[in-house]
Amino acid sequence: MSTNDYTSKVPQYTFSSTKEKQERELLINPLVARMAHSRKTLSGDKYRPIYHFVNPESTLNDPNGLCYWKGNWHLFYQAYPPEDPRQHWGHAISENLINWKDLPYAIYPNPEEKCFSGATLVQKDRVIAMYHGTNAGNMIATSSDPLLLNWEKLTGQPVINLNPEGAPPELRVFDPCIWEKGEYYYSLSGGTLPHTPSGRRIRANFLFKSANLVDWKYLHPFIEGDHFTLVGDDGACPYFWPIGDRHILLFFSHMSGGQALLGDYDQNRDKFVVTSHHEFNFGPYGPSGVHAPSATPDGKGGVIVIFNMNAGMEHQGWNQIMTLPRRLSLNNQDPIGKDTLLVEPAGDIESLRTCHINISNRKIPANQEIVLKEIQGDSLELTAEIDTNNSPMVELIVFRSPNKEEFTRISFYRNRGFRNWERYKGWEPGKRLDASDSLISIDSSYSSLSSEAQSRAAETAPVYLSPKENLNLRIFLDKSVLEVFVNGKQCVAMRVYPTREDSKGISIRSQGTSATLIALDAWQMRNIYD
């Protein structure tokens, strides 16, 4: 490992051990004051979100170590402080997963050059952070104070070296996660293996075991039966957690973005047997796509996950953002689709709603765009229930300028996805059965007139709706981010960059046949940083 001195140039503070004293100390902390000033300075950027988490100063990358500790959700992230733009772990807390408060940097580099991605494990008396330290190996730091302000690195050195003993030569130690089983700790390191016979790399995650967090033994590649990920994917930023009576491995591919594998944890063999796959990014991770996850159990059988999203144009002084937190759970509502996930927004988003508008029971004539003149805005939440009435395509247009110089299309295609053969087995002559997935798509082809906004192909994802199931959309617009949740089963998201000040309209259209807008509710959203 390197013998260089990587001491950070960022001021570092030690805080008291009680919450009351820590809160008083934060009120006069120079880093917190600096971040508040930076937020105010950057707030004038028209593309900077007002209710998604965005870095307080400088730039950010992956979210890390999302966890719940002593009444607060803690979000860590790769931060690049202005006076020392190497990765440190940035830190923010929230009581409701929505209103975030900036805290001083949590973990500083040295002996590692940079603090890369990792995960946390919450125990009764402490929180363990395991992360990758560049030019060193995988590191462990612990904290036990009320707001997780003070961190101590175990041994002051990496606990898993870059080339661990007994590991295969193709193992490249990087992004780890950590969990407990019995008397032992387990850790995954992200990685790849050569694909036979092409020789190209494929996703792999390597398993380590320890009784004391200091001495780690390499075991084997962890995952069996992955027939889902692509040749060229890798297993960065892993998070392995129980979900219902199954297990989930979330990870990031530097080729195709955020993903998850669902399956069963064979605890006798310490193997994860994969049965299905879920994507969070439907195309490459950039520009404007979903990046890496950070995830933690919610204590109710589900998993809370948050992602960073890549920019689609240059921003002065900042770049990426975080998605809204999402709750993942098993789809037990559908016996045939039980190997799939439910995906819903998480946190107290409703607390941000203001200026409510409702539209009910409006007929949408075939092939006619209906502008919903009552609704204008670029920081909105929309909920819509639509009876599609066998229309092959229903579209909701957002960020629309009056004459459609700019607009972003959200399109729903009923039963236009792949056929599900398990559903098709129930077909009988003369009986209609929707055995195919539907598709939800965001198309930003006309979102921006700017030559600086990088184009992205339409983001199109499968979602199954039963024959009598209406389309239910929950849509979040926030300056330059669009997230669309569909029937609690799927989410598509994209960064978009309308240039015109009047690109704030909403319209709806049904192709081929009429449809019915049963209900549409719209709210302006409050700024979480005011």
For residue 530, is it within any domain?
Answer: no
CA angle 43, 54, 455 (to 5 degrees): 90
Note whether 210 and 74 are same-domain residues.
yes
Name 214's bridge partners.
none
Q: What does the pLDDT read at residue 425? A: 67
pLDDT of residue 2: 57
* pLDDT > 70 in the chain, percent: 98
Q: Which CATH number characterizes residue 411's domain?
A: 2.60.120.560
For residues 251 and 177, give the distance between their C-alpha atoms in angstroms, rounded to a whole number: 10
Examine the pLDDT at 259 and tell me if it is beyond 90. yes
Are 495 and 288 in contact by the 8 Å Cβ rule? The answer is: yes
Averaged confidence pLDDT in the chain: 95
336 and 479 part of one domain: no
* Position 26 pLDDT exceeds 70: yes
For 322-352, how does the pLDDT look when each residue is reduced to its tens digit (9 = 90+)? 999 999 999 988 777 778 999 999 999 999 9
Same domain, yes or no: 65 and 212:
yes
pLDDT of 143 reads: 98
DSSP per-residue codes, 58-96 = SEEEEEEEEEEETTEEEEEEEEE-TTS-S-EEEEEEESS
325 secondary structure, DSSP code:
P
pLDDT tens figures, 386-426: 999 989 999 999 999 999 999 999 999 999 999 887 777 65
Q: What is the pLDDT of residue 428?
A: 60
Same domain, 335 and 384: no
Res 467: pLDDT = 87
* Residues 401, 498 contacting (CB under 8 angstroms): yes
Name the nearest CA neighbour of 490 among 470, 465, 468, 508. Answer: 465
**Alpha carbons 204 and 174: distance in angstroms, whole number:** 12
Q: What is the pLDDT of residue 332?
A: 86
Is there a single domain that holds both residue 199 and residue 262? yes
Q: What is residue 336's predicted lDDT score, i.e. its pLDDT?
A: 74
Which residue range(s) make up the domain with 219? 19-345
83 part of a folded domain: yes
Q: Is the pLDDT of residue 141 over 80?
A: yes
pLDDT of the residue at 197: 75
Task: State the CATH number of the domain containing residue 47.
Answer: 2.115.10.20
Domain presence at residue 35: yes
List, for residues 54-95, the tens digit of each pLDDT value.
Answer: 999 999 999 999 999 999 999 999 999 999 999 999 999 999
Q: Report the domain count for the chain.
A: 2
Residue 431 lies in a domain: yes
Residue-wise pLDDT for 433-467, tens only, equals 678 899 999 999 999 999 999 989 999 999 999 88
What DSSP string describes 130-148? Answer: EEEETTTEEEEEEE-STT-
